[in-house]
Structure 1
Amino acid sequence: MPSGKPSPSGRSAPSEAYDLAVIGAGPAGLAGAVAADEAGLSVALLDSAAHTGGQYFRHPDPALGATRPQALHHDWPAFARLRDRLADGGVTHLAGHHVWTVTREAENRWTVHALTGADGEADEPVTVRARAVLLATGAYERQLPFPGWTLPGVVGAGGAQAMLKSGLVLPGRRVVVAGSGPLLLAVATSLAAAGADVPAVVEASGYVGYARHPRALATNPHKLLEAATHGTALLRHRVPVHTRSTVTQVHGTDRVEAVTIARVDRHWRPLPGTGRRVACDALAVGHGLVPRIELATTLGCATRRTPDGTTALVLDGFQRTSVPGLWAAGETGGVGGWELARTEGELASLAVAARLGGRPPLTGGTRLRRLRRERARLRVFAEAMAAAHAPGRGWTRWLTDNTEVCRCEEVTAGRVREAVCDLGAHDARTVKLLTRAGMGWCQGRMCGAAVACLATEGTAEGTVPPSAERRPLAVPVPLGALGSLPTDTSVDQPNIESNTERPTAP
């Protein structure tokens, strides 16, 4: 595909570039691309997956012959309408494009670098040029390790849902769902409806924390309805929900055979004598989601710490990052669900259209004001949700010294503690240099939070997650792709140490 190819509608932007490049085709990116296209912009939508929908609206390959894929999803009709609008418009949808970096060449001149293929294995790198960029890169699951978590049969909670939605398969016949966050209820409901035996949902935090945020509940009654719907479904399938509890150990030889569930205190420290063994052949576990912001932090975007200890982008009232010309929407600004992501994607695109048209965003009229009100309402609930399910610092008590923390490099909790106590490491980066924890294929996405917490174990900073890594590459890239890049010394790369203040609202 030629760089900067105009959209199929025939509209072209200056210098053969798109007006807007949207990275990520989940709810935020899809809504943003559609809204920008309908506002008259030429749009390129890049995503690593073959289909739109992101992690939330995963759906089976047509070859599987699923007759009712919508039965596995909440709000499928709304997604279907967005997908139809995309098909009817002029957006250039670049599926199977793995974006590994974004560079700023000059004001209103961006280049998006991607690899193509199912796993980015194609030889020819692709570049897409645009006047503005919208980051809608979503999030990934946060995993906190425990003894036995590397056994076959232990999967992420979101991974279990993805297996069901896209592959129509279950991770096991008898599946315990554990961790923390509202995703657990949705996963357990889906698994039970698909025929799995779910002996328990194990929530480390509980739900009373929401009561501390009455405004968030009052302005989002549909969220309570969703929770009641899941609760009713679990009652119908006779699935018990254990709050203030956690899985402290997985038992088995070749795969999962049982788990130990224990009560925890408000700091997530296991209470002695409360452990009990539950037979199962699979465990779906996750402790919330982490915003995927590597592309943004490489460019120097300002970040903030969310109530549940993750790192998200600082955005103004129109979804602008601290780097001019770069917008973000959805989970990049803090995890909040698909409705918030859709709202922010549309809001960002209208702001981009106003900016490229030389107009203040506030001239967007009632539609833009409505989107801002909706975004504010949903964001309040997202912050309350994050606070209610924030991990307690006592979770490291689950770990024995021989528990693997970094699976890629086979680094145990004992080695991390040795680096801290005996070698003087005081942060995750130093631990990484001393033990190789986080240097593997996943680049710390699986172990980063655990390593950071262990590095500060026993201090007031014990809940601090890893700072957002400013890596120049967001995905693995062959050296040949790097060698083929032009050596243009005029390219303007933002200073990654700058832009630390909140963007100024108009």
Structure 2
Amino acid sequence: MTRTLAVIGAGPAGLAAAVTAAEQGMTVTVIDAGLQSGGQFWRHPSEPHLPHFARDESVGHHHWRRFVDLRTRLDAAVARGAVRRLYGRQVWQILAGGTGFVLHTAAVAGADPVPPAERAVSAERVILATGAYDRQLPVPGWTLPGVMAAGGVQALVKAHQIAPGRRAVVAGTGPFLLSVAAGLAEAGVEVVAVCEANSLLRWARRPLHAALEPGKLLEGAEYARTFLRHRIPFRSRTIVTRVHGEDRAEGVSLSRVDTRGRATGEPTRVDADLVAFGWGFTPQLELAVQLGLRTRLDVDGSLVVDIDADHRASLSGVYVAGEATGIGGAVQSWTEGELAARTTVADALGTDAPARRRGLRRRVARARAFARAMHAASVVPTEWSRWLEPDTLVCRCEEVDAAAIAEAVDDQRAEDPRDVRVTARPGMGWCQGRVCGFALASLVGERTGCRWSTAQIEPLHKRSIGIPLPLGEIAALAGASTPPEPESPHAHALAPATAAPDRP
């Protein structure tokens, strides 16, 4: 009877999955790049220095009690030997074999080194709960110091209690902007503008979807109170078209735009030393694509893992939960984490709680409906490329500008993002396209007149080594035992009758 499970990720989805599986009889290994539980959503200061850790609701996080509950149950599972925590580690490769999976791991910067004999982790089943990272769009001046991704700004505020600037502009689209602006204001930063690219009327067209998640409405009301208390200006249908400065950000140009993102008037200058951009999130799929899992394009244009109703992926023994299945937020993520774990237990041990799984599926369906409404209300403007100038860098790592991408398509006849990548080198640098991938695909699609497809986007995520890795880690494999021979990643593809439903 197969009982061993590896859960990759210790955010809302991963924690819920690990705790549920351990409490149902599985032996679980949790692997996360962070040094403590919580992931990006529940990122917080070092726990030994966090006063009243187990009960304080005032640490600037929503659903903190849910985190404390999951964290307490995880501690109990660790104490009884049902869970092993491997924090400060990243999985850089997964190999599927006849008896399960071998996960090759490496220590993150600042963590204790991992002895060579302990770098490979074996498990009979795997739950991927790898989360997401900030989606970014380039504008002139976005490479100046003082310009950050909205998620990076929030990490500094939440985990390190650092005010990353004095005067801030938060810009992009989506409800995450409200969270970042509120956190900055509570940290003592003067937020001089929150710029939402879309009209709030887009939400008004979907009142029933919004009502499906009353908790989100309460969060919105809480943000509104914070905005009023700190006198934070909120500007809809407004974008940052340029960041000004010489050695660092000194101000921005704000422009009103129409529904397609075209400027409708003269820009206005606002002084700021911190600019936080947030254009949604991109699921982190390196390991999923590495395993050959079936993927699809979500409604927001993101590549996501295709799953069945119980969160099985297209490779037997692999389950996926959280943002890798579609961006939907913390509540959806921990619900999916529990559902994926209960499915794993049913498949591995033959024990099931069908009524509980049915309830979880209904809860996920409501969250997906809200997520679809959120994506429809918070779209990236279709003509955002009008904000660019020919010398605006699109790929920061390789210093590839908008003109070079246009030349690759127009003059060198590159037909898709992968062609442009190998021709002009965007996405070939340190981040491997994590920052510029969405913008690259958008620009190429615009110039070719073709909407990108799964086949065109998936290669941008495909890496035999999932993270930047010291050569010593690969050299150490020479002395390690040989892992089981990998089988075809499509050997256990889902039958058409169990194909995954549409996801938000």
For residues 22-65 of structure 1, the C-alpha deviation after alignment (integer angstroms, 9 at most, x for no partner) is 00000100110000000011000000110110001111125766
Aligned to 1:406: 395
Kept after mapping to 1: 8 A contact 2:406/2:447: no
Return the match for 2:366 from 371, 377, 387.
Answer: 377
Task: State the AA in 2 paired with 1:73.
Answer: H
Return the match for 1:432 from 421, 427, 430.
Answer: 421
* Identity in percent: 44
- Cα pair distance change 1:69/1:243, threshold 3 Å: same
Moved more, 214-223 or 313-322: 214-223
Matched, 1:303 2:287: no
Task: State the AA in 2 paired with 1:234.
Answer: F
TM-score by length of 2: 0.91
Report the Cα offset of residue 397 of structure 1.
0.7
- Cα pair distance change 1:120/1:476, threshold 3 Å: farther
Partner Cα separation in structure 1 for residue 494 and residue 236 of structure 2 = 38
Aligned to 2:177: 184
Aligned to 2:14: 29
Task: State the AA in 2 paired with 1:242.
Answer: R
Matched, 1:390 2:405: no
Partner Cα separation in structure 2 for residue 411 and residue 201 of structure 1 = 29
Return the match for 2:457 from 441, 450, 467.
Answer: 467
Pairwise mapping of residues 149-188 of structure 1 onto structure 2 (< 5 A)?
149-188=142-181
For residues 142-180 of structure 1, the C-alpha deviation after alignment (integer angstroms, 9 at most, x for no partner) is 000000000000011111110000111112010000011
Moved more, 344-353 or 294-303: 294-303
Matched, 1:355 2:347: yes
- Cα pair distance change 1:425/1:483, threshold 3 Å: same
Give 3-state SS (helix, strand or coil) of 1:199's partner: strand
Partner Cα separation in structure 2 for residue 182 and residue 278 of structure 1 = 22
Give 3-state SS (helix, strand or coil) of 1:453's partner: helix
Partner Cα separation in structure 2 for residue 489 and residue 39 of structure 1 = 28
Task: State the AA in 2 paired with 1:45.
Answer: V
Kept after mapping to 1: 8 A contact 2:316/2:493: no
Partner Cα separation in structure 2 for residue 357 and residue 39 of structure 1 = 9
Partner Cα separation in structure 2 for residue 299 and residue 285 of structure 1 = 32
Aligned to 1:367: 356
Kept after mapping to 2: 8 A contact 1:399/1:413: yes
Task: State the AA in 2 paired with 1:71.
Answer: V
Report the Cα offset of residue 270 of structure 1.
2.3
Aligned to 1:118: 109
Matched, 1:58 2:48: no
Return the match for 2:132 from 116, 126, 139.
Answer: 139
Aligned to 2:67: 79
Matched, 1:206 2:199: yes
Gaps of 5+ in 1: 1-12
Return the match for 1:39 from 19, 24, 27.
Answer: 24
Return the match for 1:492 from 468, 474, 486.
Answer: 486
Partner Cα separation in structure 2 for residue 120 and residue 441 of structure 1 = 21
For residues 407-426 of structure 1, the C-alpha deviation after alignment (integer angstroms, 9 at most, x for no partner) is 11111111111111111112
Report the Cα offset of residue 355 of structure 1.
0.3
Moved more, 92-101 or 298-307: 298-307
Give 3-state SS (helix, strand or coil) of 1:467's partner: helix
- Cα pair distance change 1:354/1:497, threshold 3 Å: closer
Kept after mapping to 2: 8 A contact 1:300/1:499: no
Alpha-carbon RMSD: 2.4
Moved more, 211-220 or 430-439: 211-220
For residues 291-332 of structure 1, the C-alpha deviation after alignment (integer angstroms, 9 at most, x for no partner) is 111101111111121121111111111111111110010000
Kept after mapping to 2: 8 A contact 1:31/1:345: yes
Partner Cα separation in structure 1 for residue 285 and residue 141 of structure 2 = 30
Give 3-state SS (helix, strand or coil) of 2:292's partner: coil
Gaps of 5+ in 2: none
Partner Cα separation in structure 2 for residue 496 and residue 460 of structure 1 = 32
- Cα pair distance change 1:500/1:285, threshold 3 Å: farther
For residues 265-314 of structure 1, the C-alpha deviation after alignment (integer angstroms, 9 at most, x for no partner) is 2111222x331111111101110000111101111111121121111111
Partner Cα separation in structure 2 for residue 263 and residue 460 of structure 1 = 26
TM-score by length of 1: 0.90
Kept after mapping to 2: 8 A contact 1:260/1:277: yes
Moved more, 39-48 or 112-121: 112-121
Kept after mapping to 2: 8 A contact 1:300/1:495: yes
- Cα pair distance change 1:144/1:357, threshold 3 Å: same
Give 3-state SS (helix, strand or coil) of 2:189's partner: coil
